[in-house]
Amino acid sequence: MGRVVVKSLPDMKQARNRTLRPSLIREEVVVPPLTKAFAEGKTYHIKTFGCQANVRDEEIMSGYLEVAGFKRASSEEAADLVIINTCAVRENAEEKVYGEIGKFKAHSLKDPEFTLAVCGCMMQEEGAAKKIMSSYPYVNLVFGTHNMPNLLNLLEEHLARKKDLIDVISFPGDIVENLPSSRLDDCKAYVNITYGCDKFCTYCIVPYTRGRERSRAKEDILKECEELVKQGYKEITLLGQNVNSYGKDFKDGTSFATILEDVAKLGIPRLRFMTSHPWDFSDEMLEVIAKYPNIMKCIHLPVQSGNTEMLRLMGRRYSREDYLDLVRRIREKIPGCALTTDIIVGFPNETEEQFLDTLTLCEQVKYDAAFTFIYSPRKGTPAAAINDNVSDKDKHDRFDRLLKVVEAGVMSHSKEMVGKTYDVLADGVSKKDAGRLSGYTESGKLVNFPGPSYLKGHIVPVKIVEDHAFSMIGELQVDPIIVLLDDAAQKLSREEASIRFKEAMKAYREDESVAKIRDDMEDAQKRMMECASKSDDEGYQKAKNEYMSLADLYKKHPVVANLAAAESELEPLLKEVAEILE
């Protein structure tokens, strides 16, 4: 590996370390010179595997690359720089990554300037980085989750030294603010509120790949959300491995319920959050969710298993009864609240009876959606050291049986929706037919319905007319033009120019000296009319002069001048709205 410079490699012991306090770094993006020159006229593509945290990382890496001068490529084949952003949660996610890297071999051999990077959770595992560099010699950069803010410097070093680099640090992690970002969607946005995880469920690699649990400052989260509201985003999802432990590290009484409430008050039309750990789901949270109509009544609450002994071995900190009691409390406080979950089957030594507990729990809860997984041993986690006596055949058989039970629950919810009307955030236009839209209901149900493409990004009422297992067919219940008008009015009221106009108008209406000039002008006008009707030329002229000097006074009055300026500022905005309506 002479061509490869190993700057740092991951270490499971350091990855477990929770002693170092995270530092808060306010990042100023500086583009180094070689990278700047290299980026000119070049395009990038990022291929992301795994969860929403990885998707958000992709947006941040895109932000760095775009600041440097790269443009988003129209396709992965067209890109000059490709980053493969990996997941380590299960083995099959890793296998997909190897397949993906292989796809770029020909391109890399043909074009010496083509740059291939592999990053993310899988790189945080011991052995992965070196394996990639030796098996795929055309990979130029390997970096870990904690090295992401250093992306441009790594690229610079690669260009300067003409060497391939591995830089994967293992440590509890920092909080980096002012991160650049190029969002992938213009109506739905993810906002990180916590990073890392301290739960150490025995099967899970995440606490090792993403470091200790650390919360972003409330002010930074609110600033980001406020900006999204201003930009007209319709949905924010607050992200964290365990959103409901938000703020515990501040030790000042801050909780997830407080940040959730503060974000809800900003007025984003839809607010979601994920993932919630049943262990620290508080009643305070339930109250906030119930209180705010813009907090979606849909909670992702991974159960993992329905058997208490399995849950103990998984390190989940709750029993079957605790979980079911939480479900009861949720449904009591928030009637109709949708619940979704994650379930693992075939954890080491799971017996048939223990598996049946998972089935009965699913039958009882009737989830709106469930992500089901066959247990996958992750090297370095406690569960990977347990001797397992469940055969592969049994694991697959249990998986299939679980899927059937989950599906029955999902279908029962779908059936109940037929004939009813739901608000749907239209976030997709069919590639085959621009007259067909898709979007999600509050409960997270996917609905396909006919409608004009300009409704993308709008929340519209849709009547469900047909149910399929995992998506529904609907009919739009509103005239699309009304949606546009409503949106234009809202857009107008949010703009700074219209806020300034409203303030100027208020000052104008309340100012007594302006009112007095207006009254005097009216008086002078009346006198002009009277004199004119009596053919009193002299009186008319006097009243007219008086009127003219009052009009001059009026025009120059600061409150009136301010209103006129605000009015002219509003003009381009009104034109813009008129264009939207056209």
Interface residues with ligand SF4 (CB under 6 A) are: 197, 199-201, 204, 206-207, 241-242, 277
- Using CB under 6 A, pick the residue from 375, 449, 501, 540 that binds ligand 5AD: 375
Task: Please tell me the distance from the alpha carbon of residue 449 to that of residue 451, in angstroms, as a whole number.
Answer: 6
Residues 342-361 that bind ligand 5AD (CB under 6 A): 342, 344
- Between 155 and 327, whose beta carbon lies closer to ligand 5AD? 327
- Give me the least distance between CB of 489 and ligand SF4, in Å please: 43
Selected range binding ligand 5AD among 15-23, 145-153, 375-383, 438-446, rule: CB under 6 A:
375-383
DSSP, collapsed to helix, strand or coil, labels residue 342 as strand
Nearer to ligand 5AD, 114 or 200 (CB): 200
Q: Which of 234, 277, 378, 445 binds ligand 5AD (CB under 6 A)?
A: 378
- Least distance to ligand 5AD from the beta carbon of 314, Å? 9
- Out of ligand 5AD, ligand SF4, none, what residue 212 binds, judged by CB under 5 to 8 A for its kind, is none
Q: Which partner, ligand SF4, ligand 5AD, none, binds residue 90 by CB below 5 to 8 Å per kind?
A: ligand 5AD
By the 8 A CB rule, do 47 and 84 touch? yes
State how far the Cα of 130 lies from the Cα of 120, in Å rounded to an integer: 14
Least Cβ distance, residue 364 to ligand 5AD (angstroms): 19
Indicate the pairing of strand 338-345 with strand 214-215: unpaired
Residue 426's beta-bridge partner residues? 439
Instruction: Give DSSP secondary structure letters for 302-339.
Output: --B-S-HHHHHHHT-S--HHHHHHHHHHHHHHSTT-EE
Query: ω into residue 351 within 30 of 0, thus cis?
Result: no
Best CA proximity match to 263, nearest among 234, 284, 294, 232: 294
Which amino acid is residue 430, in one-letter code? S
DSSP-assigned beta bridge partners for residue 422: 462
Give me the least distance between CB of 43 and ligand SF4, in Å please.
Answer: 34
Which entry of ligand 5AD, ligand SF4, none binds 277, CB below 5 to 8 A by partner kind? Answer: ligand SF4
Could you say which residues in the range 297-316 bind ligand 5AD, by CB under 6 A? 302, 304
To ligand 5AD, the closest distance from the beta carbon of 345 in angstroms equals 9
Q: Rounded to an integer, what distance in angstroms lies between the CA atom of residue 247 and that of residue 259?
A: 9
Rounded to 5 degrees, φ, ψ at 473 are -105, 135
How many residues make up the chain in this entry?
582
Contact residue for ligand 5AD among 258, 319, 349, 376 (CB under 6 A): 376
When CB distances are held under 5 to 8 angstroms depending on the partner's kind, the choice from ligand SF4, ligand 5AD, none that residue 278 binds is none
Contacts of 239 (CB under 8 A, 6+ apart): 52, 53, 56, 190, 191, 192, 193, 194, 273, 274
Select from 348, 431, 346, 351 the least CA-distant residue to 388: 348
Q: Which does 241 bind (CB under 5 to 8 A by kind): ligand SF4, ligand 5AD, none?
A: ligand SF4
Residue nearest ligand 5AD, CB atom distance = 342
* 181 to 27, 42, 177, 178, 438: CA distances (angstroms): 12, 18, 11, 9, 26
Shortest Cβ 355–ligand 5AD spacing (Å): 15
Q: What residue 375 binds from ligand SF4, ligand 5AD, none (CB within 5 to 8 A, per partner kind)? A: ligand 5AD
Contacted entry of ligand 5AD, ligand SF4, none for residue 373, CB cut-off 5 to 8 Å set by kind = ligand 5AD
CA distances from 214 to 45, 181, 268, 354 (A): 29, 20, 25, 34
Return the residue of 38, 64, 70, 203 that touches ligand 5AD, per CB under 6 A: 203
What is the token pair recorded at 32?
């180094």
- Interface residue with ligand 5AD among 90, 158, 188, 234 (CB under 6 A) is 90
Nearer Cβ to ligand SF4, position 194 or 438?
Answer: 194
Q: Does 569 bind ligand 5AD (CB under 6 A)?
A: no
Dihedral in degrees, nearest 10, Cα atoms 219, 220, 221, 222: 50
Binding site for ligand 5AD (CB under 6 A): 89-90, 203-204, 302, 304, 342, 344, 373, 375-376, 378
